[in-house]
Structure formats: structure tokens, C-alpha cells
Amino acid sequence: MSTTPVTPKAIKTNRIGLQILDYRGGKTTLCAGCGHNSISERITEAFYEMGIQPERVMKMSGIGCSSKSPAYFMSRSFSFNSVHGRMPSVATGALLANKTMRSIGVSGDGDTASIGMGQFVHLMRRNVPMIYIIEDNGVYGLTKGQFSATADMGSKLKTGVVNDLPAIDICALAIQMGATFVGRSFSGDKKQLSTMLKAALSHQGTVLLDVISPCVTFNDHEGSTKSYKYMQEHEEAVSEVGFVPYFDDIAVEYDASTTVDVQLHDGSHMRLRKIHDDYNPTDRANAVKMLMDVHEKGEVLTGVFYVDTQKPDFTTLLNMVDEPLATLPQERTRPGREVLTAIMEAHL
Amino acid sequence: MTTSQLSAQAEPATQSARGANYIVNDFSIQIATVNGSGSQSANSVLLRSIFRMGIPVSGKNLFPSNIAGLPTWYTIRVSKDGWVARKAHIDVLIAMNAETAREDVLSLSAGGAVIYDESLKLNELRSDLAYYAVPFDQLATTTGADAKIRKLVKNMVYVGVAAKLLSIDMEAVEQTVRKQFAKKVKAAELNLNAVRVGYDYVASTLTKHDPYVVERMNATAGKIIIDGNSAAALGAMFAGVTVVPWYPITPSSSVVENLIDLMKKHRVDANGKASFAIVQAEDELAAIGMVLGAGWAGARSMTASSGPGISLMAEFAGLGYYAEIPGVIFDVQRTGPSTGLPTRTSQADLTFVAGISHGDTKHVILLPGTVRECYEFGLEAFDLAEQLQTPIFVLSDLDLGMNNWMSEPFEYPEKPMNRGKVLNAEQLEKLGGFARYKDVDGDGIPYRTLPGTDHPLAAYFTRGSGHNEKALYTERPEDYENNMLRLARKFDTAKKLVPKPILQGTGKEKVGIIAFGTTHWAVIESRMQLERENQLATDYLRIRAFPFTQEIHDFVAKHDRVYVVEQNRDAQMLSLLKIDLDPVQLVKLHSILHFNGLPIDARFVTAAIATHQGAGK
């Protein structure tokens, strides 16, 4: 027996006393190396670091490889794997029922940009307060590798088939439709994605994050524009994203001529150090132009493109009572006897 | 649950003081106009004035799918016996539409009366009618109304003309107009003036030579007039609905439009905050998606639509069934797809809704036949949805939803809301967790938790059919099968909870009739006709819900012949009965089908049954 005294290793916990284990999900069944798994890890870390109670979170998804991923993070959160392309409506309904919950939706490029386009744009338009992540790989994985609508023109499938239709730029679309926090990242860019997720958790409104997440099985080859290699060679950050959470000291200095400071709804600050000269994350038209110009050059622009902290979110617009509608007591949802009597008299 | 049937036999026929030459309180009026001409409020005044005189009435609007310029007919049936189904034959015509006037006159019953604009020169078409030519434009001008509103005023002139010719009390008309324009005193006076101009014109210029008149009765005291969609909206509000996503579609839009008005008045607190969210969705897929999201998160949620919109909801309806999520869907049925006859009535969504979605789905359906049931089932549907954790469909139709019906006033719900099997954090702590899809009580209904329940064991993963009792993903055959069998048990439990059918008749006759929804009103009148004219006594069972309860099996078993009367081409109720009934009983079933877009009438039912009976002898 050792004589060295054993000091128990301190268990690391977050602001609300939970361990990272409390944010873990089930074992992934996605392919080894799939970008989606990295995104699940970043989500787990972001919620842990921000100290968000898992029971206060709703995880929403549609159908596809990406939509399976909510099973692989945060098992203590409530999860709804709905139908193909329709997660936005289910997520909206759930938030109407209980606006005090946080909501994170995980979708794919097929689930969003094809079958789900109708509901997607209306979610953006309403500025429904949730984080909407697109795990974007340019192909349908679960049905074995057909092109999706975010595949770039000229991109090649393994079988040699070339995509001859233009890609839908989900970020440009989201900005135009009314989303109030729009950015793109890459599953392989741990730091940028992590920072953007934490900032997203501090925003009240629709956050659209288009995360390029290579499909190692069907779209990671030469000729693909959504491969790890292509992203490593063509990713072009518009800004460097920094984040100071509301519970940390804000004293860190920044240079206002090179950095945009955005105060988010919970008091956290997002600091965006310009890389592009004409970068202005509060100018919608400029953001869309920049996305188009860079795409034209064959590069993939990442970073936070647009943020608006003023526009009211959908649940605020509806002017509902403070408590969740779902659990209002009968006294508050069933008008009194005299109301019915008066209505009946009016119909006599 | 009680139903309000305006008993046809309750009121003895009024003895007319006028003698044998008059037909008193038993005729129909048709007003032929052009849609967009603002005739609706005039027609309503006419209907409600007669109602105010204590005489049973019903009003049916036959309108085109158009905003302005196409023919519209409004029919008022006056019936001392309380029959409120459509009457196929028209006795009094108010011909205001030049385009249809000729056809309208040719379709009248012999001896009928025609009130028409003198420019139409209809009096030469037939010699067996009583004609009343009225210079409507000229009279409208004499009212002194602005040129802009003269078109509307003209409608009130025909109310006055009809009032004088049919002996409608001016006092009743005045009270009706003042109530209808309660907040607009100036408008009330303007309209009343127009009514008087029409009334006086008849008094000074025309001589009555048709037999149709009204006389005061006491058969409507305490009764209300309301349309089914308004009634359904009332039911939903008192059911405590909180989340209402919808997409406009005729004939269901007024369910939600009425609900919006009601909720703004009665469900906004002192701080101006709403205890509800009503959202116009981008389409019906989104509407039902939001219903399920809200139901999953614990809200009482509903939407309203009609056949084409319901079609779009099919996939989600199946998800709701398998993921076991409460929600209420009002389907106000109409005919056909898209540009079919969207403004005509039918009962043709029945089989579709019963199994709507992918394989092996069965849905609970409530079938209101009266406006009062639109209210009561509107309330009941929310309890059932949460008790059974499944989408509940309420199948109304255009005739019930958009037309005016008399009814006993609605009763305030005495039962507290039943929110179903929902576990809270304390219960979870005591139980040490739960299995979302486990049949703990043997009724097939599992326990659920709501998002936000503050316990580490509260959460579960919601998905389609591939789950085991613990809501974990599985593709194991026995897990799937067990879940399917439990869902079937749950459907059996539903039989104990849904509204039971209502029997009319002695229960001992040889011939039985089965019907549901608005077909009811034609059937009860037809039973009287069959008894009087064909000496055929019948029993009648009105089905009010699917799944079918034992009473329905017993009814068929007890009768030699059973006529299933419904308003669709494919005998949909009969088809559902065939699936459920003992095969030896099936030979007894005979279909009576009405599907031309107009509400079914008693004469049609009587003729069909009489023919069948004759052939069967």
C-alpha cells in the first residue's frame, strides 16, 4: 500500500455545479470523422461553459444524418426528432407553448434548403428565438449521397456526376428573410465555432449558423467543394470572433477602429475583429454583397456576417403573459360563467 | 353530454286565423343576389325578424368561390314544425340578380311568389306564379341615401317589401335592425328607413295574391341563432386553448377569425398580455407542425382547416399518432380539391381522416351534428386529446359551420379540464424516473413529462415509431410490435371516452337509419314523412364519434334493414362500419348517398328509402 496521501481529484464543474458529463448525449452512430460529431461536441461545451441547465433546453430536428445528432448531445434536455423539413414549425409551436425554454435546432442542407425551405424562411422571418444550425455537407447522407441544394455549381459526386445548378446561399437568404444573427463556420474550426455558439446562446432571436461539415463517406473527395481539404484551402474568415460572457470581467481592451463590439441580450459581448476591410455586421445589404462576392471567387466566407440586437423576437411580438402558456392554470384560460351568459344573450 | 335537438314535434301546428287560403309558417324564401352586393346583412335581418316572431327558421347561404359579381342564393326556411334541414322547393323568390332570374323563376314551385326588380320583366315566364314588380332603384333613390351606398340600401328595401307581403311584424324588424347595428345608430336608422320605403310601397301599390304568410308563435323563446364555426370557436376558448396556428381556407377560416375576436375580448389580462398565441402559419403543414410542437410542450393547441388543408397535414398527423402528442384539428368539410366547389358542403373527408397518414394509423374523430355539439365537442376534444395523447379530429361541414342554426343556449363547462397523464418533478423523484411509452395502467395510455420539468430524469427523446418503452431508438421487431399493440389498446380506451351515439325511435322497429353530422336534420324530417306517407316506422341512430362504440353494433344487429345516410359518393361511413361490424350483419346495410354540394334534404331521403323498401318487398 502506498504511503503517499491520495488527494481526491477535484471534479470540474461549471457555473451551476454540473459536470461536462451532465451535458453528454448518447453514443454517436454517425460515421467516424463525420463533421457532425465535432459540432455535437462544440454544442455540448458551449452549453456547459455558459452554465445552462440542460432541463431548460429543447433540442429540435428534422430528418437526415444531421437531424439524428441531437441524440448524441445533452441527454438531459428534451428532444423532438420531427419529420423531414418541418422542424421549424414544431420548434415554433414548442416555443409558443413555453417561451421560457431555450431551443436549439439541428438541421441539414437537404432538410433545410430543399424540402424544408418553406418553413425555414418563415422561421427566419418571424425571428423565432432559437439557434438553428445547419450541418452543411452538400449531399444527402442518409439516402447515400445525392446532391443537395447547397452543393456548389461544378462540384463533383464520387460517381463523377457534376452539379450544374447554382448553390443556395443559406446565410444570404437568412439575412434577407429577417434572421437576427447569421454566421458561417466550419466543423473543423474548433475555436471559431465554439465562440460563435456561445455568442449565439446570448442572443434573443433567430440565430442561423451554417456550419460546413464534411461528409466523409459521400462528399470528401477531390472535386467536392465541401471536403475537409477544400475548406482548409478556401476558408476565408470575415472577422475574428471573440466573446466575453456576461459573468466574466469585460475590462479587456479592444481597438474600436479594427473591432466591432456587440452587446448581446444577456449582457455578454461579442467582439468581431475585422479581417475584411469593408466588414460591417450591422449592414444587411453589405453582408449579402460580401457573401456573393466571395462565393464568386470560389472561397468560403466564415464568421458572423450579420447581427441585429434590436428587432423583437416572435414571442415578444405576440405580447404573451410572462409564464409559459402550456402550464397556465384553468382560472387563467377558461373565462368565467358570466362571459358565456353574455355571449349567449347576444345570440338570442 | 346532452344534445339540443329542436324537437320537431314539440310545437303544435299553429291554427291560422286567416283561414284555409293561407299557408302559414311553412314555406321557404330564396333571395337571389350577386355576391359582393352586401345582401348578407339584409338576409340576416329577414331571418332574425321571423325568428323574433317566435317562428322556427333556418338560413342557408349558397355562395360562389368569388369575391364579387357571381350569383349567390340565400334560403330561409320557415317551419312551424321546427324542421331546419334544407327544403329543396322554393316558395317565395326575391329575384335581384338579372343573370339568374329566368332560371330562378323556372325552378319555383307552382303557386309560388316572385318579388322582382321591375326592369327584369319576369312576369311573362310562367302563369302559375304570383308576381310583384318593384322599382328597387327608384325606391333606393327615394330613401335619400348617398349614391355610394344605394346598392346596400336596395337590399333593405327588399326586406321591407317581403315584410309587408309575408306579414312580418315591423316591430320585429325594427328590433332586429337595431340589435344588428347596435353600435351604429346612424346606420340603423338609414337601414330602417329603407325597410319602411319598401314596406310602404307594397302597402300603397301592390295587392297580395299568394298564400304565404307568417304568424306569431312561441317556439323560439330562449333559443339562440348561431353558426357552427362560431360555436366551435366558443368551445375552444372555454376549453382553454392557448396555441392556435392556422392557415385560411374556406369554409373553416371563420372558426379562427371568431376565435381571434373572442380571445382578444376575454383572454387578455389587465396588463394587456395575452394568455394565447394565434399565428397565421405559412401553410397547413406548418400549422399542424406548430400544433404538435405546442402539444408536445404541454399547451392546448388547435388548428382549423378543410379537406385540401387536411391533406397537407397527413404526414404530421401520423407523427402525432405515433409520437403520442395531443392536438385538436377542426375539419370543416367541403367538396373537392382546389378549384372544385370549395364553397359547397360535403361529408367526404371521413374515411380519409379516420386513417390519415402512413401505415397503421387510426384517429379519434368527433362528429358534431348540431351547433351546440360544435361547442361541446370543441370543449371535449381538448380533454380527449390530452387524456389520450393523440390528435383529435372534429369533423364539421360547411352547412353546419357557415350557416345559421337555432339552438338551445350553450352550457358552461362544469367539469374541470382533464390535462391527462403528466408527471411533475416531485412525482419523478418519488418514482425514480419513468418510461415514456410504458403501459403502466393497462389502458394503453403512457405517462409523459413536459419540457422544462426540473428533474434530471424528466427528459425523453421524441421520435416516430422506432422507439421502445423508454423512448430509446430501436428497430427490434418485438419492440415495434409491442408498441403497435399498445397503441391499439389505447384506441380501445378511446371507445370509452368518446360521445356515444343517440337513439331516436322505439328501438323495436324493423328498419333502422344511421347518419351523422348535418345529415341528421334531413333524417329526422324524413322519418316523419316515412311514417305519415309510407306508414314506415323507423329507428334512428346518430353516430357522434369514431371509433365506434358497442351501441352501433347492437343497433345494426337489432334491425332487419339499416339505411346509412350520408353526404358523399363513396359510402364512407358505411365503409368504416364494414370494417368494424360482424360480417354477417353487413348484408343489412344500404347506402343513401347525397353528394351534389347542396345540403341533403328530407324529400331526397324519403324517396330513396321508399324506393328501397318497395324493391325489398
Question: Is residue A315 within 8 Å of A323, Cβ to Cβ?
Answer: no
User: The CATH number of B23-219 is which of 3.40.50.620, 3.40.920.10, 3.40.190.80, 3.40.50.300?
Assistant: 3.40.920.10
Query: What is the per-residue DSSP string for B339-364?
Result: TS-TTSB---SHHHHHT-SSSS---E
Same CATH fold, B502-616 and B23-219?
no
- Secondary structure, 3-state, B296-341: HCCCCEEEEECHHHHHHCHHHHHHHHHHCCCEEEEEEEECCCCCCC
Question: Is residue B379 within 8 Å of B392, Cβ to Cβ?
Answer: no
- A93/B297 CB distance under 8 A: yes
State how far Cα B435 lies from the chain centre. 41
Of A93, A322, A335, the CB nearest to B245: A93
Strand (E) or helix (H) holding B404: strand B404-407
Distances (CA, A) of A264 to A180, A319, B261, B378, B611: 11, 21, 37, 44, 77
Q: Would you place residue B7 in the very low, low, confident or very high pLDDT band (cuts 50, 70, 90)?
A: very low
Residue B2 distance to chain A (closest CA, Å):
18
pLDDT for the residue B63: 83
Question: Is residue A260 within 8 Å of A325, Cβ to Cβ?
Answer: no
Query: What is the per-residue DSSP string for B453-500?
Result: -SSTT---EE-SS-B-TTS-B---HHHHHHHHHHHHHHHHHHHHHSPP
The whole-chain average pLDDT of chain A stands at 95
- A340/B239 CB distance under 8 A: no
- B297/A58 CB distance under 8 A: yes
Question: Is residue B103 within 8 Å of B84, Cβ to Cβ?
Answer: no
Q: Given a cut of 50, is residue B483 above it in pLDDT? A: yes
Q: Which residues in chain B are contacts of A119 at CB distance < 8 A?
A: 282, 285-286, 289
Task: Give the residue-averaged pLDDT of B322-345.
Answer: 91
CA A242, A246, A251, A255 dihedral sign is positive
Total structural domains in chain A?
A: 1
Name the residue with higher pLDDT: B91 or B145: B91
pLDDT for the residue B395: 98
Q: Which residues in chain A are contacts of B289 at CB distance < 8 A?
A: 82-83, 86, 88-90, 92-93, 119
CB crowding A141-154: b at 16 or more within 10 Å, else e: beeebebbbbbbee
Q: Given a cut of 60, is residue B617 above it in pLDDT? A: no
Task: Give the residue-averaged pLDDT of A129-152.
Answer: 94
Q: Which residues in chain B are contacts of A326 at CB distance < 8 A?
A: 242, 294, 297-299, 450
Q: Which CATH class is domain B502-616?
A: alpha beta
pLDDT tens for B420-457 read 999 999 999 999 999 999 999 999 999 999 999 999 99
Q: Would you place residue B17 in the very low, low, confident or very high pLDDT band (cuts 50, 70, 90)?
A: low
Residue B281 distance to chain A (closest CA, Å):
9
Task: Give the residue-averaged pLDDT of A12-26.
Answer: 97
Above pLDDT 90, what percent of chain A?
Answer: 91
- Please give the single-letter amino acid code of residue B590: H
Cis preceding-peptide flag for B547 (omega within 30 of 0):
yes
Distances (CA, A) of B87 to A83, B28, B204: 47, 7, 32
pLDDT for the residue B13: 40
Residue B42 distance to chain A (closest CA, Å):
17
Of A60, A89, A339, the CB nearest to B285: A89
pLDDT for the residue B564: 98
Q: Would you place residue A8 in the very low, low, confident or very high pLDDT band (cuts 50, 70, 90)?
A: confident
Residue bearing cell 399518432: B321
- A78/B456 CB distance under 8 A: no
- Please give the single-letter amino acid code of residue B500: K
Q: Given a cut of 80, is residue A6 above it in pLDDT? A: no
Q: Give the span between the Cα atoms of A209 and A198, in whole angstroms.
A: 12
- A335/B287 CB distance under 8 A: no
State the CB neighbour count (10 A cutoff) for residue A345: 10
Q: Which residues in chain A are contacts of B323 at CB distance < 8 A?
A: 80
Domain assignment present for A246 = yes
Q: Which residues in chain A are contacts of B298 at CB distance < 8 A?
A: 97-98, 324, 326-327
Q: Which residues in chain B are contacts of A333 at CB distance < 8 A?
A: 240-242, 267, 275-276, 300
pLDDT tens for B565-583 read 999 999 999 999 999 999 9
Question: Is residue B223 within 8 Å of B407, Cβ to Cβ?
Answer: yes
Q: Which residues contact B472 (CB under 8 A, 6 or more apart)?
A: B461
HSE-up of residue A160 (Cα within 13 Å, Cβ side): 0
Q: Give the domain extent around A298.
A: 20-323
Domain boundaries in chain B?
A: 23-219, 226-407, 425-497, 502-616
Task: Give the residue-averaged pLDDT of B548-563.
Answer: 98
Q: Would you place residue B151 in the very low, low, confident or very high pLDDT band (cuts 50, 70, 90)?
A: confident
Mutate to test the interface with A, among B292, B418, B465 (most CBs of A within 10 A): B292
Mutate to test the interface with B, among A56, A58, A83, A323 (most CBs of B within 10 A): A83
Question: Going edge to edge, which strands form the sheet with A181-186?
Answer: A235-237, A300-307, A181-186, A206-212, A130-136, A102-108, A57-61, A78-81, B461-462
Q: Which residues in chain A are contacts of B284 at CB distance < 8 A?
A: none
CB crowding A211-239: b at 16 or more within 10 Å, else e: bbbbbbbbbbeeebbbbbebbeebbebbb
Question: According to the CATH classification, is domain B226-407 in 3.40.50.620?
Answer: no
Distances (CA, A) of B115 to B91, B136, B206, B476: 11, 10, 11, 74
pLDDT-wise least confident of B25-34, B194-203, B318-327, B330-339: B330-339
Q: Given a cut of 60, is residue B15 above it in pLDDT? A: no
Q: Would you place residue B338 in the very low, low, confident or very high pLDDT band (cuts 50, 70, 90)?
A: confident
A/B interface, count of CB pairs below 8 Å: 217
Q: Give the span between the Cα atoms of B394 and B333, in whole angstroms.
A: 10
- What is the three-class DSSP state of B613? helix
Q: Where are the alpha helices (DSSP H) in A254-335?
A: 284-296, 314-317, 330-333
- A118/B282 CB distance under 8 A: yes
Residue B258 distance to chain A (closest CA, Å):
12
Of A79, A89, A339, the CB nearest to B462: A79
Q: Which residues contact B69 (CB under 8 A, 6 or more apart)?
A: B34, B35, B36
Q: Given a cut of 50, is residue A298 above it in pLDDT? A: yes
Of A55, A90, A337, the CB nearest to B293: A90
DSSP 8-state code for residue B59 = E
Of A70, A97, A333, the CB nearest to B294: A97
Q: Given a cut of 80, is residue B20 above it in pLDDT? A: no
Q: Which residues in chain A are contacts of B410 at CB distance < 8 A?
A: 340, 344
Mutate to test the interface with B, among A84, A89, A124 (most CBs of B within 10 A): A89
Residue A309 distance to chain B (closest CA, Å):
23
pLDDT for the residue B140: 93
Question: Is residue A71 within 8 Å of A81, Cβ to Cβ?
Answer: yes
Of A76, A93, A348, the CB nearest to B293: A93
- B242/A78 CB distance under 8 A: no
Direct distance between the N- and C-terminal alpha carbons of chain B, in angstroms, rounded to an integer? 39
Query: What is the per-residue DSSP string for A84-149?
Result: TT-HHHHHHHHHHH-TTSEEEEEEEHHHHHTTTHHHHHHHHHHT-SEEEEEEE-SEETTTTSEE-T
Phi-psi region of A92 (alpha: psi -120 to 50; beta: other; left: phi over 0): alpha
Residue A22 distance to chain B (closest CA, Å):
9
- A320/B461 CB distance under 8 A: no
Q: Would you place residue B70 in the very low, low, confident or very high pLDDT band (cuts 50, 70, 90)?
A: confident
Residue bearing cell 394509423: B361
Task: Give the residue-averaged pLDDT of B605-609.
Answer: 98
* Residue A141's CATH number: 3.40.50.970
- What is the three-class DSSP state of B231? helix
Above pLDDT 70, what percent of chain A?
Answer: 99
Q: Give the span between the Cα atoms of B607 and B615, in whole angstroms.
A: 12
Residue B538 distance to chain A (closest CA, Å):
34
Residue B95 distance to chain A (closest CA, Å):
29
Q: Which residue of B has its CA nearest to A92?
A: B290
Above pLDDT 70, what percent of chain B?
Answer: 96
Of A88, A91, A318, the CB nearest to B274: A318
- B290/A96 CB distance under 8 A: yes
Domain assignment present for A328 = no
Domain assignment present for A268 = yes
Domain assignment present for A227 = yes
Of B225, B277, B295, the CB nearest to A318: B277
Q: Given a cut of 60, is residue B515 above it in pLDDT? A: yes
pTM, to two decimals: 0.95
Task: Give the residue-averaged pLDDT of A126-153.
Answer: 95
- B224/A91 CB distance under 8 A: no
pLDDT tens for B243-294 read 999 999 999 999 999 999 999 999 999 999 999 999 999 999 999 999 999 9
Query: What is the per-residue DSSP string for B81-125?
Result: T---SB-SS-SEEEE--HHHHHHHHHTSPTT-EEEEEGGG-GGGS
Q: Where are the alpha helices (DSSP H) in chain A?
A: 35-50, 65-68, 87-97, 109-113, 117-126, 170-177, 190-201, 228-234, 284-296, 314-317, 330-333, 337-346
Q: Which residues in chain B are contacts of A348 at CB distance < 8 A?
A: 222-224, 409
- A94/B293 CB distance under 8 A: yes
Residue A45 distance to chain B (closest CA, Å):
18
Domain assignment present for A333 = no
pLDDT for the residue A255: 86
Residue bearing cell 306564379: B129
Residue A122 distance to chain B (closest CA, Å):
7
- B240/A318 CB distance under 8 A: no
Strand (E) or helix (H) holding B186: helix B185-205
Phi-psi region of A7 (alpha: psi -120 to 50; beta: other; left: phi over 0): beta
Phi, psi of B181 (to 5 degrees): -110, 40
pLDDT for the residue B18: 60
Domain assignment present for A345 = no
HSE-up of residue B251 (Cα within 13 Å, Cβ side): 30
Question: Is residue B303 within 8 Å of B316, Cβ to Cβ?
Answer: no
Mutate to test the interface with A, among B48, B242, B312, B372 (most CBs of A within 10 A): B242
- A119/B282 CB distance under 8 A: yes
Of A89, A97, A318, the CB nearest to B297: A97
Residue B157 distance to chain A (closest CA, Å):
25
Residue B603 distance to chain A (closest CA, Å):
30
pLDDT for the residue B19: 61
Distances (CA, A) of A286 to A208, A298, B381: 18, 19, 51
pLDDT for the residue B12: 38
Q: Which residues contact B584 (CB under 8 A, 6 or more apart)?
A: none
Residue A130 distance to chain B (closest CA, Å):
14
Residue bearing cell 385540401: B308
pLDDT-wise least confident of B339-343, B359-363, B377-381: B339-343
What is the complex's ipTM, to 2 decimals?
Answer: 0.96
Q: Give the span between the Cα atoms of B361 and B365, in whole angstroms.
A: 13
Q: Given a cut of 50, is residue B14 above it in pLDDT? A: no
Mutate to test the interface with A, among B284, B462, B470 (most CBs of A within 10 A): B462
Domain assignment present for A342 = no
Above pLDDT 90, what percent of chain B?
Answer: 87
Task: Give the residue-averaged pLDDT of B38-57.
Answer: 95
